[in-house]
């Protein structure tokens, strides 16, 4: 996007956040490998639920670092609760995993996801990271694909807002990891490039 001054011929490029969609998961031994390709990976956890499935596999791939940190900090997954875990993956860019509590099942409404995206983007900028990753875990029902599109549209909207509001953003790229079946729905959501709310209420899930 370019911006041109109304009073002169000066034209400058408006910085933008690049979105990349990568296929991940599956049954292969290296199915989680794409998730290590970012500096900051964002994982969510609901309250009163057991960390299983892909989250458990990710934790195992990181040598149990996630559950160890959650146990140490008594992390329960309450809405807005978050934990930044330092990880070491040989020959991979991944440096931190941000675990964000999303509250009780059923609390995952759009403002909460918007607030979660705000937190993740701000943490990436505070750490000086250039990219972050957000997985869309497999196992969703076909009926949930509309919800996937909506949540990714919120991500695009929130990323644009934080780009405008952050003085010196370092974040350049957001990678979304999903299954091959969900890819089209993810891309459709990210293609929504207008502000979703007439007036942004800047929802947050933590102070």
Give per-residue pLDDT as tens, 170-180. Answer: 999 999 999 99
pLDDT tens across 129-140, in order?
999 999 998 765
All structural domains of the chain with their residue ranges: 16-190
Q: Rounded to the nearest 5°, which phi and psi values hold at 18?
A: -90, 135
Q: So what's the pLDDT on residue 11?
A: 44
Residues 47-59 have a mean pLDDT of: 78
Q: Chain-wide mean pLDDT for the chain?
A: 86
How far is Cα 40 from Cα 157, in angstroms, rounded to an integer? 20
Q: So what's the pLDDT on residue 5?
A: 44
Phi-psi region of 171 (alpha: psi -120 to 50; beta: other; left: phi over 0): beta
Question: Quick one: tokens of 31?
Answer: 């199915």
Q: So what's the pLDDT on residue 197?
A: 87
Per-residue confidence band for 3, with pLDDT thresholds at 50, 70 and 90: very low
Q: So what's the pLDDT on residue 195?
A: 87
Quote the crossing angle between the two packed helices 145-165 and 183-190, to the nearest 10°.
40
Residues 185-195 have a mean pLDDT of: 92
For the ranges 26-30, 65-69, 82-86, 174-178, the lowest mean pLDDT is seen at: 26-30
Q: So what's the pLDDT on residue 143?
A: 45
Give me the CATH code for the 16-190 domain, please.
Answer: 3.40.220.10
Alpha carbon dihedral 34, 191, 109, 197, in 10-degree steps, equals 140
Residue with tokens 């670092």: 65
pTM score? 0.88
């Amino acid at each position: 996007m370019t911006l041109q001054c109304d009073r002169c011929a000066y034209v400058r490029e408006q910085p933008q956040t690049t979105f990349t969609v990568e296929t991940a998961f599956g049954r292969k031994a290296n199915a989680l490998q794409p998730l290590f390709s970012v500096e900051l990976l964002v994982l969510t956890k609901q309250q009163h639920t057991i960390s299983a499935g892909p989250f458990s596999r990710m934790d195992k791939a990181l040598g149990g670092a996630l559950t160890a940190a959650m146990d140490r900090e008594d992390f329960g997954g309450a809405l807005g609760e978050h934990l930044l875990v330092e990880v070491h993956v040989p020959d991979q860019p991944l440096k931190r995993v941000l675990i964000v509590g999303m509250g009780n099942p059923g609390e995952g409404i759009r403002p909460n996801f918007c607030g979660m995206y705000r937190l993740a983007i701000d943490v990436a900028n505070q750490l000086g990271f250039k990219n972050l990753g957000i997985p869309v875990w497999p196992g969703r029902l076909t009926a949930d694909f509309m919800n996937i599109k909506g949540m990714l549209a919120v991500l695009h909207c929130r990323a644009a807002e934080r780009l405008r509001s952050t003085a010196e953003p370092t974040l350049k790229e957001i990678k979304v990891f999903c299954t091959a079946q969900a890819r089209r729905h993810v891309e459709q959501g990210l293609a929504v490039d207008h502000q979703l709310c007439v007036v942004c209420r800047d929802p947050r899930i933590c102070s």
